[in-house]
Homo-oligomer: A and B are copies of this chain.
Amino acid sequence: MNFEEKQLEEERIFSGVLLDVRKSLVELPNGKQSTREYVVHPGAVAILPVENEYVYLVEQYRFPIGKSLLEIPAGKFDEPGEEPLECGKRELEEEIGKRANTWIYLGYIYTTPGFSNEIIHLYLAKDFESTEMNLDEDEFLEVKKLKIEKFENMIMKNEITDAKTIAAYTRAKLLGGI
Q: Which residues of A contact B (CB under 8 A)?
A: 1, 3-5, 7, 13-14, 16-19, 21, 23-24, 26, 28-30, 32, 34-41, 59-66, 68-69, 71, 106-119, 138, 140-142, 152, 155-158, 161-164, 166-167, 169-171, 174-175
A-B contacts, 30 of them at CB < 8 A, read A1-B59, A1-B142, A3-B60, A13-B21, A16-B23, A16-B37, A19-B37, A19-B115, A30-B140, A34-B138, A36-B64, A39-B39, A39-B115, A62-B110, A64-B113, A64-B117, A65-B113, A65-B117, A69-B110, A71-B113, A107-B157, A108-B161, A110-B163, A111-B112, A156-B175, A163-B166, A166-B170, A167-B167, A169-B170, A170-B170
Q: How far is the CB of A22 from chain B (nearest CB, A)?
A: 9
Q: How many Å from the CB of A164 to the closest CB on chain B?
A: 7
Contact status A64-B115, CB under 8 Å: yes
Task: Give the copy number.
Answer: 2
Partner of A63, one of B18, B24, B39, B140: B24
Nearest neighbor of A71 in chain B, beta-carbon distance:
B113
For the complex, give the distance between the alpha carbons of A25 and B155 in Å: 33
